[in-house]
């Protein structure tokens, strides 16, 4: 019986710290990491957020982003105590000792008694305003062909972010007849579109009433007559 309990304890006692850099590389417009200067400045007393992945996977969450209070630093190696109540990771509890690397940090809450270091990077722009976009763009199968900006829809009561007015249609040459006749689209953050196709980023501040069509011979977006397709 004791051996079974030891094995059970070991089963529940495992987790891994996820490296966030591949996530940031795949979603550069929606997942920003601290700058190198900020990471190098982390010291005892700061709170940092890291990604915990349960082994085996938790029943509800693939991973949890939780805060850790830094207690020790040895070069790139850091030690801290968990400062969150896990939602679905019974192998962890507040106060548990956690060991991790600077590159694992996804966010920083600086201690009150110290100056906040400069990030040494330009101020980042966030792209959380919403838009309508063909799903074939979001899944990475097709690029943007036509985009236009209408007057934004009035916000709904439960909207966290406003509508940008932008609408994106995919390259119709790659659609099946069924997809062409029955468009599939999503209402989502502009950054999600940019993660898959950012070739139109230079147009993002164009006013309502603007419309652009990609010239596939050059790859450039050419101003065209505004035509709402919703």
Q: Domain-by-domain residue ranges, the chain?
A: 2-109, 130-223
pLDDT score at 2: 41
Determine the Cα–Cα distance for residues 107 and 129; give it in Å rounded to an integer. 22
Q: What's the CA angle centered on 110, arms 104 and 115, to 5 degrees? A: 125
**pTM of the predicted structure, to 2 decimals:** 0.80
Determine the Cα–Cα distance for residues 75 and 35; give it in Å rounded to an integer. 17
- The number of angstroms, rounded, from the C-alpha of 132 to the middle of its chain's C-alpha atoms is 18
11-34 pLDDT, tens digit each: 445 899 999 999 999 999 999 999
Determine the Cα–Cα distance for residues 217 and 223; give it in Å rounded to an integer. 15
47: closest CA among 81, 91, 77? 81
Q: What is the mean pLDDT of residues 214-224?
A: 96
Determine the Cα–Cα distance for residues 217 and 214; give it in Å rounded to an integer. 9
96-112 pLDDT, tens digit each: 999 999 999 999 999 98
pLDDT score at 121: 64
45-67 pLDDT, tens digit each: 999 999 999 988 877 878 999 99
Band the pLDDT of 120: cuts 50, 70, 90: low
pLDDT score at 60: 80
More confident residue, 184 or 160: 184
């Amino acid at each position: 019986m004791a051996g079974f309990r030891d094995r059970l304890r070991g089963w529940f006692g495992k987790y891994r710290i996820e490296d966030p850099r591949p996530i940031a590389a795949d979603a550069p417009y929606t997942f920003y990491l601290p700058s190198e200067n900020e990471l190098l400045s982390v010291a005892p007393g700061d709170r940092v957020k890291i990604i915990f992945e349960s082994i085996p996977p938790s029943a509800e969450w693939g991973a949890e982003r939780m805060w850790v209070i830094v207690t020790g630093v040895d070069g790139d190696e850091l030690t801290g105590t968990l400062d969150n109540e896990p939602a679905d990771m019974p192998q962890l509890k507040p106060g548990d000792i956690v060991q991790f690397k600077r590159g694992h940090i996804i966010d920083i809450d600086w201690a009150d008694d110290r100056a906040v270091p400069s990030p040494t990077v330009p101020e980042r722009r966030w792209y959380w305003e919403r838009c309508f976009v063909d799903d074939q763009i979001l899944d990475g199968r097709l690029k943007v062909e036509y985009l236009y900006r209408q007057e934004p829809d009035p916000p709904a009561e439960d909207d966290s972010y406003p509508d940008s007015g932008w609408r994106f249609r995919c390259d119709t040459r790659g659609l099946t007849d069924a997809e062409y006749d029955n468009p599939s689209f999503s209402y989502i953050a502009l950054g999600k579109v940019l993660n898959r196709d950012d070739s139109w980023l230079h147009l993002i501040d164009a006013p309502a009433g603007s419309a652009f069509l990609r010239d596939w011979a050059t790859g450039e977006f050419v101003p065209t007559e505004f035509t709402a397709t919703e």
